[in-house]
Structure 1
């Protein structure tokens, strides 16, 4: 056996997209990720479970995504989307017969998985994997807000709401979280401890690259696990990684009549019209080659760290789940190959919980303000490009706390106010603006939710509860429906 252990962490997250349209944004993002990442990744986990594997990986599912994967509206929409995918595959057959065959089979498999396993939502699919010890599930704040920018009482409220939602869906309260955007400000561990959170993820630079062990933060018992960027970036980084290999499907090249992707990467600087047709056999060979190389990377890294530290180390590689299948078509196949090959190569595979229980813990550390975004600081969520969103978020928080404290009602209006506020505070809006990815849509969503908070708060503060009920009746459903705003009321 190689001394030490390897932990793979996947983070599944999309903002609240239900009831917010299809192409080019909104629910289309949800259905694409659901079809191409969540269905096949869970299928991989169920096959590994059937073969007796346990502690396979740590999976973060943000509460707002879990709500969508259980939502009847989204379930109906997903079924329709999968059927449309198969029809698009049939439609392209006269022009691109090989692509049509590949897409038909993929769509048929996705429909089979969805109709036999997912028609009642994600919770009945995930719970056996959690209860059986196949995966460790991470929770998080309700709508994925960037924690360092929240008022302490709002931060605590968002985290409590998110953990409670996960408990309702899966029957157990997570002891670990993937902090949204790995965002951290000194002192946040105190709130984590108060909420019963025992471990959370940070990016490697927060620990100055010393990620070989989990570290208690400050004077608390809460453990910070750091991403090993040398290993993580071997798979995917801002500039390189396996998905960019010439034989993998190209994510950015479309057949515009069908929306399907007919090309392989071919080369980094090859124009879309010059890319070669996708070849599943070439892609399968690339999966085998890159999975074998990654196993060697992990073995070498563990050996190196063991020699440096004089004790068995931990390697944590962490990614967005959407990389596996959505952005990287072959990702689920690669994932399964790696998770089967690592134990065969003498590498212990475990979860964050398993690593903590096994004693992969070092000395306490003081963490700096940090994130996993550009610069590893807060610029993506608090930089000059999004100053207006930060200011709007501050107003939303202050309005929420003041209104709930002064006009708390027991008929659900305050609860709906709190849900709209949490939606306005989602980190996704600032990310999309900073990265210029559907920035207009993101600003519309952020200001739309903030506007609802202001309008509803004004009615509540004026005592116009009938008008407030009429206002809320015209809004699209909220993601949770069981948020309890009384937790925000001042004593």
Structure 2
């Protein structure tokens, strides 16, 4: 029996980019929106993704993917309170699975598999994650398995942000990554892939030499990275033809009938024991999940995606007359949280691509390999609906845009005055620090996104106004000369919002 022939090496390079982000959820509600969202994403997406990456690293596979990790999600994955909460959540998951084993079939068999999966997660979490995500990710970066992308503190929609706060959030965010991972990123995932003309100069000043935009920002010309304006800062565009094969507004692999259904719960145990079954099938009539059926679908979708990437590299290289670069980019939480089978698909894909003659590398590898074209002027853009700013600046969120502007003005003027009075002090001003911390949480891009998409909109408005209230409350006390009251208020809010411990208001430009 002859060996399977090895496919010809295709020109160019393929890069997979994952963007890992959740808003600050610790201490702000549990269910249906709040810490539960964090723990579900951690157990279903982050744990299995790092399991995959550690396996690939152990095989000395380098340049497997470019991983964006926002400072706000890293803060939660390192936070002792969140680590304790996650451990309890995993134990509760195992108890719920145990309860399922006592129920009638097919739920009992499903419970057995879930019980084993929860046990594996508990063991892994207890041994590998006890000090948070930082040591794990640092190992993967050191091994060359992943390239780290950073980002500004608390994920603000940068085009609408006061330039002073925009610069501060970016520099502090990059420094935060440097402290956690012993690597300061030179590439970022700009929150929401949002861009306004001129932002490239701020990136260059902060030491950023490449960033992500969506394909339409480059008018669909994503086959090469493009220096922006007169700078050396390179924009890489998401290839929608390839990316949408996996996850699109209307279709994609996760909706296949064999995969686990995200929306269908068993109301006794809270587990998800059904498969998608069909697009128009009611939850109570969905078929039981069948792992073997799902496994066959994973293999089919790996083969399909490899074929799509090969063909895209060949056709784009022919079109531009030189080896092309193809970037597929997704939210990390798609793989495992939204699409249960996603992590397995990822591992098989990252093995299958090189076997199919596809060169896999990071964005940093693409820069080093010369996959860069002519300079370009980018339009105001994002990866949201319409590829413009409407999700974060449209009529539905006009009140939040106004709120953000007012809160930022209050915060900056108050902090300026406070620092002017204490500029001879050798220590930090913890009141000013907390004002900026609450301001950054107020202007998180998550809140207008959730309102525009009508996804837990009430929670999103509550959070935006809560952090705005905290900012104003502390600032008012400080402005009226009640320094002691301002210190008490800042300390109180810090108990819930104590993330970014190294944030230092004295570095505000």
Task: State the partner residue of 1:375.
Answer: 386
SS at match of 1:173: coil
Q: What are the within-5 Å matches in structure 2 for residues 212-223 of structure 1?
A: 212-223=223-234
User: Partners in 1 of 2:162 and 2:491 — Cα distance?
Assistant: 29
> In 2, Cα distance between the equivalents of 1:137 and 1:112?
26
Report if the CA contact (8 A) 2:178-2:185 is conserved: yes
Superposed CA RMSD in Å reads 0.8
Answering whether residue 396 of structure 2 is matched by residue 385 of structure 1, we say yes
Residue 31 of structure 1 is matched in structure 2 by 39
How far apart are residue 9 of structure 1 and its match? 0.2
Residue of structure 1 equivalent to 2:241: 230
Q: Deviations over 1:156-204 (max 9, x none)?
A: 0110111111111011110000000000000000000000001000000
Say which SS state the counterpart of residue 355 (structure 1) adopts.
helix
Matched residue SS, 2:123: helix
**Native 8 Å contact 2:438 2:497 kept in 1:** no
- 1:357-394 per-residue CA deviation (whole Å, 9 max, x = no partner) reads 00000000000000000000001001000001000000
Q: Which residue of 1 aligns with 2:77?
A: 69
Q: Secondary structure at the match of 1:303?
A: helix
Say if 2:434 is the partner of 1:428: no
Q: Following the alignment from structure 1 to structure 2, what is the Cα–Cα distance between the partners of residues 288 and 347?
A: 17
**Residue 488 (structure 1) shift:** 2.2
Aligned-partner SS, 1:30 = helix
In the alignment, does 2:61 pair up with 1:53? yes
Superposed, 1:15-30 pairs within 5 Å as: 15-30=23-38
Q: 1:87 aligns with which of 85, 95, 98?
A: 95
Instruction: Give 2:284's match in structure 1, choosing from 270, 273, 285.
Output: 273
Matched, 1:482 2:502: yes
Q: What's the offset of the Cα at 1:404?
A: 1.4
Secondary structure of the residue that 2:446 maps to in structure 1? helix
What's the secondary structure of 2:360's corresponding residue? Answer: strand
Separation of aligned partners in 2, 1:371 and 1:454 = 30
Determine which of 96, 99, 102 is the counterpart of 2:110: 99
Distance 1:13 1:29 in 2: 11
- Correspondence for 2:6: none
Q: Please state how far the C-alpha of 1:462 moved relative to its aligned partner.
A: 2.0
Aligned to 2:368: 357
Q: What residue is the counterpart of 1:413 in the other structure?
A: 431
Runs of 4+ in 1 over 6 A off after TM superposition: none
Count of matched residue pairs: 489
CA distance in 1, matches of 2:455, 2:116: 31
Matched, 1:454 2:462: no
Alignment of 1:138-287 (within 5 A): 138-287=149-298
Does the CA contact (< 8 Å) of 2:60 and 2:143 recur in 1? no
2 CA distance for matches of 1:389 and 1:248?
Answer: 38
Distance 1:177 1:474 in 2: 33
* CA drift at 1:51: 1.0
1:81-102 per-position Cα deviation (integer Å, ceiling 9, x unaligned): 0000000001111221111012
Cα deviation for residue 315 of structure 1 reads 0.3
Gaps of at least 5 residues in structure 2 are 1-8, 423-427
Query: Aligned equivalents of 2:100 and 2:408: distance in 1?
Result: 50
SS in 1 for 2:147: strand
Q: Measure the CA separation in 1 of the matches of 2:79 and 2:33.
A: 18
Question: Offset at 1:470?
Answer: 1.5
The answer on whether the counterparts of 2:430 and 2:490 sit within 8 Å (CA) in structure 1 is no
C-alpha separation in 2, matches of 1:348 and 1:109: 33
Measured in 1, the distance between the counterparts of 2:210 and 2:278 equals 41
How far residue 263 of structure 1 moved from its aligned partner, in angstroms, is 0.5
- Give the Cα–Cα distance (whole angstroms) in 2 for the partners of residues 309 and 173 of structure 1: 34
Whether the 8 Å CA contact 2:15–2:326 is kept in 1: the answer is yes
Partner of 2:281: helix, strand, or coil? coil
SS in 1 for 2:77: helix
C-alpha distance in 2 between matches for 1:369 and 1:198:
19
Distance 1:170 1:5 in 2: 27
CA deviations 1:20-65 (Å, max 9, x no partner) are 1211111100000000000000100010111110000000000000
- Alignment partners' CA distance in 2, 1:341 and 1:458: 59
- The equivalent of 1:471 in structure 2 is 489
Deviations 1:457-483 (A, max 9, x none): 111122211011111232224211221
User: 2 CA distance for matches of 1:380 and 1:129?
Assistant: 35
Q: Point out where structure 1 has 5 or more consecutive residues left out of the alignment.
A: none
Q: Secondary structure at the match of 1:350?
A: coil
Offset at 1:487?
2.2
TM-score, length of structure 1 as denominator length: 0.99
Shifted more, 469-478 versus 59-68: the winner is 469-478
